[in-house]
Amino acid sequence: MAARPEWQQALEQVRSRLAVFPSGQPTGEDARAILAALRTGVPPQRGAVEMSVDRDKEFLTLIADIQEVASGSSQLLVINGPYGAGKSHLLHVLREIALSKDSAVSLISLTHRECPLHDLLAVYQHIVRCLEIPSAPKGQALQVALERWATSLYEYSRGRADAALAAVRRLPREFQSVLAAFYSAARVGDSAGMSLVLSWLRGELGNLREARRLGVDVVPTGDSALWMLGNLARILRFLKLSGLVVLFDEAETIASVPRLEQREAGYRNLRCVMESGRTPFCYFVYATTPDFMDHSREFLGTLQKRPKILEIASLGRDDLIRWSLLIRDLHLQSYTWPNVGRVKGSKWLRFVRALLESSREHATSRAFGRTVVAVLDMCQRDPDLSPEATLAGL
């Protein structure tokens, strides 16, 4: 894809705005948090953009999609790559890009036990539970957004409820009712009333009698989950956000689900989710493996809206060496190091090349990053230990 100047500029702006390292280097708790994530083989919560190598082409694709969504379109993307290639890391990059563009984001991991794709209500609940917006504590995004909305509408309408709620009349009656209930509760400080609204919007209110207190005759179910999700996206637009970005990290493939009826339900629901990608201001991203693609080509070919597929490969040898330098510099900034020459210059490069040649297990970015941090930890604790001396025990 040709890098349009405005997208390249957006990429540089993203790198600048998201910088965990204000002067180009990490500091303090942020740096140690990144190293802690790498030790366990998971992407960092902050700094994913800065800890990336050789992904600018993918970044530009994601930025272009985010801009299209903010203008009112819908986007559906499948990220396909082998295990350990960095799909989860790329999702975290997309999360940071979306937040920098004032979008609401939800990144969820699809697992058979905790968030099974055959249970759409559970998926919806996870989406709302994991929702993030700029400048809001994690886990409180929906509540903070609604409170800001209620406050701004009150100020704009000079306290007139009818004028304040006129903007939401394009929503279905049920969502008009729950927003009106939240607005009324917020104006008098009724925390129980606000909590009831939040419970309904999160898909957690299963008591019809309680729902009727909000003026609605329905409770969230699996059948209504995507209807809820589409209208949630519309609400987020009312709350002055650019759109909704939903990131599905497929921890377990549908094909691996043991029961046939659950596999069939999973494919059915995935179709529904992908077809719901026609909802304006929504971006759905599904990260998966070639195994899913091999089992699902017929399924993908029957979709009314074919997803865009972004193929990513594992980082090459030179990219992993560059990444090791980023990790090493991060470690040196974070801890007091004796005899630092052991991990500098040609000594470090010799160790990294030997590591990559010693085992294919270290070839994936996830395993490689975990091993590099482990070696740096050992050398930092033992001033006489050289990186190469650790190879025999790896």
Indicate the pLDDT class of residue 277, thresholds 50, 70 and 90.
low
Indicate the pLDDT class of residue 383, thresholds 50, 70 and 90.
very high
Same domain, 125 and 176: no
Buried b (16+ CB within 10 A) or exposed e, 65-91: bbbebbeeebbbbbbbbeebbbbbbbb
Q: Please determine, for residue 295, whether its predicted confidence score (pLDDT) is greater than 90.
A: no
* pLDDT score recorded for residue 84: 83
Last residue within a domain, chosen from 286, 311, 336: 311
Last residue within a domain, chosen from 254, 289, 311: 311
d(C-alpha 335, C-alpha 328), whole Å: 11
Same domain, 64 and 117: yes
Same domain, 112 and 250: yes
Helices (H), the chain: 5-17, 28-40, 56-70, 87-100, 120-129, 141-157, 161-164, 173-188, 191-201, 208-212, 225-238, 260-275, 290-301, 317-334, 345-358, 365-381
d(C-alpha 187, C-alpha 164), whole Å: 12
Q: Please determine, for residue 160, whether its predicted confidence score (pLDDT) is greater than 70.
A: no
Task: Scan for tokens 């209807």, then name that residue.
Answer: 227
Mean pLDDT, rounded, of the chain: 85
- Minimum mean pLDDT range among 46-60, 315-329, 357-371: 357-371
Residue 25 counted as domain residue:
no
d(C-alpha 387, C-alpha 122), whole Å: 46
Q: Please determine, for residue 355, whether its predicted confidence score (pLDDT) is greater than 60.
A: yes
> 60, 310 in Cβ contact below 8 A?
no
Same domain, 113 and 66: yes
Same domain, 124 and 260: yes
* pLDDT score recorded for residue 2: 47
Q: Please determine, for residue 298, whether its predicted confidence score (pLDDT) is greater than 90.
A: no
Q: Please determine, for residue 366, whether its predicted confidence score (pLDDT) is greater than 90.
A: no
Task: Scan for tokens 């691996």, then name that residue.
Answer: 256
Q: Please determine, for residue 380, whether its predicted confidence score (pLDDT) is greater than 90.
A: yes
Residue 159 counted as domain residue:
yes
Total domain count, the chain: 3
d(C-alpha 289, C-alpha 308), whole Å: 15
Residue 21 counted as domain residue:
no
Look at strands 104-110 and 131-132 and give their pairing. antiparallel
* pLDDT score recorded for residue 48: 87
Residue 4 counted as domain residue:
no
> 246, 240 in Cβ contact below 8 A?
no
Same domain, 68 and 215: no
Indicate the pLDDT class of residue 20, thresholds 50, 70 and 90.
very low
Same domain, 91 and 212: no
Last residue within a domain, chosen from 225, 259, 291: 225
Q: Please determine, for residue 114, whether its predicted confidence score (pLDDT) is greater than 50.
A: yes
Same domain, 177 and 300: no
Calculate the alpha carbon distances from 221 to 121, 125, 152, 202, 211 in Å. Answer: 6, 10, 31, 11, 13
What is the residue range of 160's domain? 141-225
- Minimum mean pLDDT range among 161-165, 205-209, 305-309: 161-165
Element (H, E) at 247: strand 244-250
For the stretch 3-17, pLDDT in tens is 456 555 655 665 565
Same domain, 305 and 351: no
* pLDDT score recorded for residue 363: 65
* pLDDT score recorded for residue 1: 45
Of residues 11 and 318, the one with the higher pLDDT is 318
CATH code of residue 58: 3.40.50.300
For the stretch 204-263, pLDDT in tens is 999 999 999 999 999 999 999 989 998 998 888 888 899 999 999 986 677 777 788 888
d(C-alpha 262, C-alpha 291), whole Å: 18
- Minimum mean pLDDT range among 127-131, 139-143, 293-297: 293-297
Same domain, 337 and 368: yes
Same domain, 324 and 303: no
* pLDDT score recorded for residue 350: 95
- For every residue of 140-161, DSSP letters joined together read -HHHHHHHHHHHHHHHHHTT-H
For the stretch 50-85, pLDDT in tens is 888 888 888 888 888 888 888 888 888 999 998 888
- Minimum mean pLDDT range among 21-30, 131-140, 148-157, 305-314: 21-30
Question: Which residues are bridge partners to 284 per DSSP?
Answer: 76, 246
Task: Scan for tokens 């689900």, then name that residue.
Answer: 257
Indicate the pLDDT class of residue 149, thresholds 50, 70 and 90.
confident
Share of the chain above pLDDT 90, in %: 45
Residue 370 counted as domain residue:
yes
d(C-alpha 371, C-alpha 282), whole Å: 38
* pLDDT score recorded for residue 155: 73
Same domain, 195 and 220: yes
